[in-house]
Structure 1
């Protein structure tokens, strides 16, 4: 219940999702993603000089390098998404999307989905504690048995998610959401010189990456991206 109360207070406050750095760095560490890429992708990338064979599968140099590159890509995307959620409030996110030309209904839907992540996570913790009080131990047993036991959490969580979504829909209808085409906001965003410099730098980096890709510079295997 404490987690649910904190999540609801955060929803009302409109502040950025304040997570600890460890909550992002640990599950999304660069080493973890790199090891995942190195273990998975070499089984599919067959080009390059062979190194050794495992269970009839030949592991090549290009496969290892490609797996390392894919792991770094995923780590960068997930870490950037976590930092973005930590530093951007939902209101500013919606207003920014509206300024970019996105329909306000789509912007509100995206913001609502992000804002309900901590709420559903808190509900999951509450349901897990309630099931543990009923002698359900999810930490013991084989992976298959633990997956079967998790149904006792997934089912109530799914029902709770539907209940929250219905409550949100009723509240939005009661406030006349979607009646008018335009929408006003108390939050105003204006581009500054620093914002324009960052946007130009990101655009230049994107164009440089596309140019290097077309020229074949840094390309590990031509059969894969």
Structure 2
């Protein structure tokens, strides 16, 4: 399977052409698909570092595709859509999008958001060490989480939040810090995103999610990871 920097899923040829050329000028390796079916086929051949996803595509809704994508893939996804309502943005983010950019947009903003998303997603590349809590092992160097010896699949955002907490085990990490590190500075007040994500993480990692011993909450302040090297 060959490596790919960006998978662009966009059915408007004019927009796709502009984005593809801009990305290639910046040195990114790009593959373009105009349908959701084509995007699935591309994933079988190439492993993208990031996906740019339109929502209104000829063969379906991008939100549904995104939800299925998140079951097996952790690459970050930036949604590019003419849908500008808040509920559309919340729906996309809750289904695994890392960012949401409304059309029309400028190429400089797109490139800036793409670089920012990749910076947030890739810090584990230089991290090292393993953390242990009960039956959970967090291998920061490999980007691998196991529970009872079985690999646990995390979404990109789930892994990013866990990475931030695991970088300072036992220490309180404030909500605003987590939101800024993982979602970006424009989301520092959107604590409901964090509550939803932490709930999902506990389901995946805790023996009893309603009585967590690993992912601890300081009500109204932040979270801490109870784990040791």
Larger Rg: 1
Considering the TM-score relative to the shorter chain, is it more than 0.5?
no
TM-score (norm 1): 0.23
Higher strand proportion, which one? 2
